[in-house]
Amino acid sequence: MPNTILLPLLADGEFHSGQDLAAALGISRTAIWKQLNKLKGLGLEIESVKGRGYRIPDGIDLIDEAKVRAKMTAIGLSLLKELSIQELTDSTNMEALRRVEEGARSGLVCTAEQQTAGRGRRGREWISPFGRNLYVSTVWEFSQGAAALEGLSLAVGVAVARALTDLGLPEVQLKWPNDILYRGKKLGGVLLEMVGDASGQCQVVVGIGLNVAMPRSAADSIDQAWTDVSSMAEGGGAPGRNELLGSLLGQLLPLLAAFESDGFTPWLEPWQSLDAHAGKSVVLTTGNNKVAGIARGVDPRGALRLETSVGVESVFGGEISLRIVE
C-alpha cells in the first residue's frame, strides 16, 4: 500500500491547488491535507503558497519501470527477470533475501524510494532519504559457492564506474573493497550477501547504494566526506535516477551472468586503473588491530596487496577498514 497517492501529482515540482488535487484524486480537501502530512513525514519538503497551492521544490524523480527499461541495453533487458519497485522498505538487500526464501533466483532486482534500515559494510547505517538516491539489490545464482565469488564486489565497482561514464559523468575511483569515490569523497558502496551452500548452489544479493541528489539535511549523521551525482555533473544536467538505474543494470546484469565462468580476471586491470589508493600509505583496521603499509593494488582473487616491512601480503575483505595515511 503506497504511503501517499498524492506524490505522483506533485513530482513535477509545479504548483497544484488543493482543489485541483482533490478533483484529480476524487477525494476531499481534508484528505489532501492528510496526504500532504504523509509526504512531510517521509522527509519531503512541501511548499505552500496562498493562491497557488502546493509543490515539492525542484520536483522529485520517482522510479518508473518503463523509463528504467528504456535506458537499458538489449542484453541487460534479456537478463532482467523482474524489477520490483517499492515505495518504502527496511532495506533492498533484506527484501531481496526475503524473495530468495520465497524462491526468487537470478535476475530479480529490488529497488525502493526509501529505506528505513539501509545498511553498509560492517553494519553501518546507510542514509536513505526518500526519492533522492539509488538503493538497488540484485539476486544472482551461483553453483560453485563462495569460491566463485572472489573479486565480485570489486568487479561490481567497475560496473558502477562504467555506468556513470556511459552517462557522460566524470571518471570515479574505487576504494578497496567496496566503495565508489569521486574526488576522494564517498559516492556509493557495494554490499554482497550470500545464502545457500557455501561450497555449492547459492544465491548472492548484490546491493548498491548510490548518492544521487542527497539533501544536506539528511546527511548530517554521515561520518565521512561524501558527494553525489548532482555534484559531479559540471554545468548541470545530471542524469536522473531512472537513467542511472537503467545504465547500472545494463552493466551489472551481464557481469553477473558471466562472472562464474570468467571470474575476476577480466576485471583485474580495469579495477587497478581506478584504484584510489594505489601506491599510497594506508592503515588497515580489524577490530583493535592495525596494520600499516603501502597499497599495491589487488591480486587475481581480489585481495588487497599490502606492502609492509616483511614483504607484500594479500589481505582479503571482511570486517576491515582502510584509511589513507595523510
Catalytic residues, by residue number, are: 121, 186, 323
Gyration radius of the chain over CA positions = 21
At 118, is the secondary structure helix, strand, or coil?
coil
Grid coordinates of 305: 596487496
CB 61 within 8 A of CB 46: no
Other residues' Cβ atoms within 10 Å of the Cβ of residue 9: 17
CB 9 within 8 A of CB 21: yes
Instruction: Kindly state the helix (H) or strand (E) to which residue 207 belongs, with its residue range.
Output: strand 202-210
Backbone angles phi, psi at 4, to 5 degrees: -150, 140
**Side-chain half-sphere of 136: how many Cα atoms within 13 Å?**
28
Give just the sign of the alpha carbon dihedral 73, 78, 80, 85.
positive
Sheet holding 311-315, edge to edge: 311-315, 304-308, 289-298, 281-286, 321-324
CA 18 – CA 6 distance, rounded (Å): 11
Other residues' Cβ atoms within 10 Å of the Cβ of residue 307: 14
Q: What DSSP state is assigned to residue 170?
A: P
CA 172 – CA 301 distance, rounded (Å): 22
